[in-house]
């Protein structure tokens, strides 16, 4: 494999990468934009392609074009064919590739705690299938979510965190909680590192945009990402293995095996290992990790099953790197970095262990699920580098050993499968304890240890009731109590309690058997907490965040089940919106913005073109500005500034072209392109936090064997080689991956 130039820390090598310069979309993107698509798709996508319709007057986002876009999508069912695809759930990959070209398959999701078609779920959501995960080489959150609009993956000190519709978190656990709940096999993931190495042996990824506080709680006001891994199967001997080789010395292996023991017991063993050099010139942004998982399924009767599982994830190498902001913007500092001035001798050591049980029992009148889980994480980050990047000036030293435990229990009772009256009710308990020796810019002579603990209890219920022909009503409620404690040398012990009762009401209407419209109103909350700061720096306490959401959407299958258009329009209103403030840069704190509004539209479409393949297109328009807010210690009001991680416009398009070979095999050519408008990666708007508008794209070619047991994928990611900022932490930026390429071999039996 040809070697690749690294990204120079503090400035990219001009001949190989572009950072902050105007981006040109790859040729595949230009071709996709001018491809001849059938007129029905153009009619459905007119509002998304005519960007001139999206007007900006006095830099204020106008909702009128958004309403027009949704109205156009809502009018499409009137032109739909009367024939509709059957709604009986079937796995996303249940049919052969050739059959999939005739009509869109039904994707089954469990977003509302029961299995149902994605098209019958009144949530703005996207699902990624098992085949897509394997053939696209999805191994981390950034790869998984890059083609989903209104979703941004942020670089963080210990991995990555996710933002939806501008809501996320720029801080690691201990100081605050993300507004996006990340779950693995139904278990809340409390560490950002899990998004880096925990993605293997996946069956499906579900992305739920918008507040999900009723059923998920645990800081799901922005949305939810569910990573679902493969479970053991009784009586089946199956397995899979993959090998990936790529630039920057990438060698990645993954495998899994299903072992049937008898007619009641099965075991699944899976694991992965990755070794890749760093993208940055000082060796950072590497990937040296491994993980393993064992699942045991016991099913004594048809109505009872018990799953026991354990998992270990390890991260080594140097980990994520931070580029001093002057190096990014100052050409002279880029030169110093490129010539090797300064040193950086850091490392990371992290291990996460998780054990969980899942009991499912059919009680006749309902389905009982009990899900206890125990997690433990231990890690250490060490960095010693000079902020000026001049030789002999090593003035920054970070040593961050940390330890955290999490115990959780969810017990719920749901209506039987297929019941017209759908309901679910349950209890959720959560306990977390974490300790950190040092947060930022400290050494052994000035430690700042702190211990944090969180206890949470919640009860929840949701029902969906048939009203009249085609109409259904839904209602849900969740009551939560959160208690947090922090102890440190500087603040002593602080303790507080937050309570909230949140709900959801809505209507669903079937325009026909293949088209559903819905309207929902929901509330959600994110608990308050404490800033781990010296006592002289205020505020030490920040309030809980409350949110009210109104959403109108439609999910449709048209043209004999060959065209899918899902669209929604939403309005979010916040009280005490939690924002991360890095001024003065020495400290980072969470503050509250009293009032905050967010409005937007999302449209996702997919169309089968028969022998000409499949076309996918998505657009998101977002108006997300800060309310009146003056950061502590300053006199500048940030009112009207753009929320962080909230680009105003996002356009994403993808195309697949199949080529059938005479031996029964197939070659699938794929191209994806993305255009993201400018955004800020921190609440403070300046040249250091600005990420300019950019374009990027990926291309790949997949060879599938006639029996579909093995495939080979050749890919190139980030064809335009544009390096984007993903975060800014007190003067240091995190960045996205450069252009990479490689080959993936998948085999299953």
> What is the pLDDT, as a whole number, of residue 71?
44
User: Residue 85: pLDDT above 80?
Assistant: no
Distance CA 214, CA 181 (A): 13
> What is the pLDDT, as a whole number, of residue 226?
93
Distance CA 706, CA 539 (A): 64
- Whether 127 contacts 107, CB under 8 Å: yes
> What is the pLDDT, as a whole number, of residue 535?
54
Helix, strand, or coil (residue 639): coil
Domain ranges of the chain: 27-748
Q: 629 or 223: which carries more pLDDT confidence? A: 223
User: Residue 444: pLDDT above 60?
Assistant: no
240 closest CA partner among 185, 201, 293: 201
Average pLDDT of span 73-82: 41
> What is the pLDDT, as a whole number, of residue 586?
53
User: Residue 362: pLDDT above 70?
Assistant: yes
Q: Is the dihedral of CA 700, 701, 706, 712 positive or negative?
A: negative
646 closest CA partner among 614, 685, 700: 685
Model confidence pLDDT, tens digit, residues 270-329: 999 999 999 988 888 899 999 999 999 999 999 999 999 999 999 999 888 877 766 555
Listed range (301-315, 348-362, 441-455, 625-639) with the worst mean pLDDT: 441-455
Q: 272 or 8: which carries more pLDDT confidence? A: 272
Distance CA 386, CA 726 (A): 22
Model confidence pLDDT, tens digit, residues 655-684: 999 999 999 999 999 999 999 999 988 887
pLDDT tier at 103, thresholds 50, 70, 90: confident
CA 469 from chain centre, in angstroms, equals 37
Which of 208-217, 359-368, 573-582 is most confident? 359-368
Beta-strand pair 180-184/223-229: parallel
> What is the pLDDT, as a whole number, of residue 57?
38
Task: Give, for 603, the enclosing helix (H) or strand (E).
Answer: strand 589-608
pLDDT tier at 14, thresholds 50, 70, 90: very low
CA 410 from chain centre, in angstroms, equals 23
DSSP 618: E
Q: 329 or 42: which carries more pLDDT confidence? A: 329
Crossing angle of helices 64-75 and 39-49, in 10° steps, is: 170
Give the rounded percent of residues in the chain with a pLDDT score beyond 90.
51
Token pair, residue 380, equals 């250490």
> What is the pLDDT, as a whole number, of residue 534?
58
DSSP 415: P
> What is the pLDDT, as a whole number, of residue 16?
44
> What is the pLDDT, as a whole number, of residue 158?
62
User: Residue 53: pLDDT above 50?
Assistant: no
Average pLDDT of span 171-183: 75
Helix, strand, or coil (residue 192): coil
Q: 198 or 538: which carries more pLDDT confidence? A: 198
- In which residue are the tokens 């995960």 written? 133
Average pLDDT of span 106-122: 89
> What is the pLDDT, as a whole number, of residue 491?
64
- Whether 207 contacts 145, CB under 8 Å: yes
Distance CA 254, CA 695 (A): 31
Superfamily of domain 27-748: TonB-dependent receptor, beta-barrel domain (2.40.170.20)
> What is the pLDDT, as a whole number, of residue 11?
38
Q: 687 or 341: which carries more pLDDT confidence? A: 687
> What is the pLDDT, as a whole number, of residue 62?
41
Distance CA 111, CA 133 (A): 19
730 Cβ partners below 8 Å, 6+ apart?
A: 440, 582, 585, 586, 587, 588
Buried (b) or exposed (e) across 525-564, using 16+ Cβ within 10 A? bbbbbbbbbeeeeeebebbbbbbebebbbbbbbbbbbbbb
Listed range (125-139, 342-356, 714-728) with the worst mean pLDDT: 342-356
Which of 162-166, 315-319, 431-435, 549-553 is most confident? 549-553
Average pLDDT of span 120-148: 90
> What is the pLDDT, as a whole number, of residue 532?
65
- Whether 603 contacts 69, CB under 8 Å: yes
Q: Is the dihedral of CA 527, 218, 516, 415 positive or negative?
A: negative
Average pLDDT of span 119-127: 94
User: Residue 385: pLDDT above 60?
Assistant: no
CA 670 from chain centre, in angstroms, equals 22
User: Residue 72: pLDDT above 60?
Assistant: no
Which of 106-120, 158-172, 690-704, 728-742 is most confident? 690-704
Average pLDDT of span 107-133: 91
Please tell me the total number of residues recorded for the chain in this structure: 749
User: Residue 83: pLDDT above 80?
Assistant: no
Distance CA 656, CA 79 (A): 26
Neighbours of 360 (CB within 10 A): 15
**Is the model's pTM score more than 0.75?**
yes
122 Cβ partners below 8 Å, 6+ apart?
A: 474, 506, 508, 516, 518, 520, 553
> What is the pLDDT, as a whole number, of residue 51?
37
Helix, strand, or coil (residue 176): coil
> What is the pLDDT, as a whole number, of residue 393?
41
Q: 281 or 413: which carries more pLDDT confidence? A: 413
Distance CA 146, CA 637 (A): 33
Distance CA 580, CA 22 (A): 29
pLDDT tier at 170, thresholds 50, 70, 90: low
Q: How high is the mean pLDDT of the chain?
A: 80
Listed range (81-85, 272-276, 462-466) with the worst mean pLDDT: 81-85
Cα-based torsion angle of the residue sequence 680, 683, 686, 691 in order, rounded to the nearest 10 degrees: -10
Helix, strand, or coil (residue 716): strand
Q: 30 or 109: which carries more pLDDT confidence? A: 109
Task: Give, for 649, the enclosing helix (H) or strand (E).
Answer: strand 649-660
User: Residue 24: pLDDT above 50?
Assistant: no
DSSP 216: T
Distance CA 106, CA 486 (A): 47
> What is the pLDDT, as a whole number, of residue 653?
97
Average pLDDT of span 241-246: 97
Q: DSSP assignment of 236-266, as one string?
A: --EEEEEEEEETTTEEEEEEEEEEE-SSSEE
> What is the pLDDT, as a whole number, of residue 452?
86
Distance CA 602, CA 655 (A): 19
DSSP 86: -
């Amino acid at each position: 494999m040809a070697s690749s130039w690294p990204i120079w820390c503090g400035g990219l090598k001009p001949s190989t990468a572009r950072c902050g310069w105007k981006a040109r979309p790859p040729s595949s993107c230009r071709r996709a934009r001018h491809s001849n698509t059938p007129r029905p798709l153009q009619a459905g996508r007119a509002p998304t392609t005519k960007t001139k319709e999206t007007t900006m007057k006095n830099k204020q986002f106008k909702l009128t074009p958004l309403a027009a876009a949704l109205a156009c999508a809502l009018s499409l069912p009137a032109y739909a064919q009367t024939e509709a695809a059957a709604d009986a759930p079937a796995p996303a990959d249940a049919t052969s590739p050739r059959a999939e070209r005739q009509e869109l398959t039904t994707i089954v999701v469990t977003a509302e705690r029961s299995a149902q078609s994605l098209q019958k779920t009144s949530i703005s959501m996207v699902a990624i299938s098992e085949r897509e995960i394997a053939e696209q080489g999805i191994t981390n959150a950034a790869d998984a979510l890059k083609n989903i609009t209104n979703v941004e993956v942020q670089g963080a000190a210990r991995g990555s965190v996710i933002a939806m519709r501008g809501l996320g978190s720029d801080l690691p656990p201990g100081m605050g909680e993300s507004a996006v709940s990340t779950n693995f096999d139904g278990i809340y993931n409390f560490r950002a590192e899990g998004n880096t190495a925990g993605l293997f042996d996946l069956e499906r990824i579900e992305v739920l945009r918008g507040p999900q506080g009723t059923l998920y709680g645990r800081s799901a006001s922005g949305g939810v990402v569910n990573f679902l891994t493969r479970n053991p199967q009784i009586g089946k001997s199956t397995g899979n293995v993959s090998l990936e080789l790529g630039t920057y010395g990438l060698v990645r292996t993954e495998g899994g095996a299903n072992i049937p023991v008898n007619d009641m017991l099965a075991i699944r063993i899976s694991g992965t290992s990755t070794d890749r050099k760093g993208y940055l010139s000082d060796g950072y942004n590497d990937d040296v990790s491994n993980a393993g998982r064992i699942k045991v399924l016991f099913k004594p009767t048809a109505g009872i099953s018990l799953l026991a599982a354990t998992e270990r994830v390890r991260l080594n190498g140097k980990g994520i790197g931070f580029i001093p902001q002057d190096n990014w913007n100052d050409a002279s500092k880029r030169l110093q970095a490129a010539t090797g001035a300064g040193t950086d001798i850091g490392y990371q050591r992290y291990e996460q262990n998780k054990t969980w049980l899942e009991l499912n029992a059919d009680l006749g009148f309902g389905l009982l699920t009990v899900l206890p889980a125990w997690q433990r994480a231990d890690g250490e980050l060490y960095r010693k580098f000079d902020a000026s990047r001049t030789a002999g000036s090593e003035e920054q030293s970070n040593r961050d050993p940390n330890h955290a435990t999490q115990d959780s229990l969810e017990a719920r009772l749901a209506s039987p499968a297929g019941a017209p009256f759908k309901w679910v009710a349950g209890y959720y308990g959560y306990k977390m304890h974490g300790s950190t020796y040092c947060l930022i810019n400290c050494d052994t002579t000035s430690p700042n240890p702190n211990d944090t603990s969180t206890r949470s209890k919640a009860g929840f219920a949701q029902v969906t009731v048939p009203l009249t022909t085609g109409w259904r009503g839904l209602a849900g409620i969740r009551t939560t109590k959160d208690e947090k404690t922090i102890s440190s040398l500087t603040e002593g012990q602080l303790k507080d309690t937050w309570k909230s009762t949140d709900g959801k009401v809505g209507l669903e209407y079937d325009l026909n058997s293949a088209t559903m419209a819905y309207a929902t109103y929901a509330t959600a909350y994110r608990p308050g907490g404490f800033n781990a700061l010296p006592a002289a720096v205020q505020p030490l306490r920040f309030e809980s965040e409350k949110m009210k959401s109104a959403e109108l959407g439609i999910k449709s299958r048209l043209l004999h089940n060959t065209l899918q258009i899902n669209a929604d329009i939403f309005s979010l209103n916040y009280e005490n919106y939690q924002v991360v403030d890095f001024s003065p840069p020495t400290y980072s704190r969470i503050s509250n913005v009293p009032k905050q509004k967010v409005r937007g539209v999302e449209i996702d479409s997919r169309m089968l073109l028969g022998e000409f393949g499949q076309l996918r297109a998505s657009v998101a328009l977002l108006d997300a500005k800060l309310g009146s807010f003056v950061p502590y210690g300053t006199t500048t009001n940030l009112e009207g500034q753009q929320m962080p991680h909230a680009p105003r416009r996002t356009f994403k398009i993808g195309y697949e072209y199949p080529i059938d070979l005479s031996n029964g095999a197939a070659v699938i050519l794929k191209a994806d392109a993305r255009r993201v408008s400018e955004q800020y990666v921190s609440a403070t708007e300046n040249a250091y936090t600005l990420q300019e508008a950019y374009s990027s794209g990926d291309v790949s070619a997949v060879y599938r064997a006639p029996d579909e047991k093995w495939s080979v994928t050749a890919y190139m990611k980030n064809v335009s080689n544009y390096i984007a900022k993903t975060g800014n932490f007190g003067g240091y930026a995190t960045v996205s991956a450069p252009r990479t390429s490689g080959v993936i071999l998948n085999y299953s039996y």
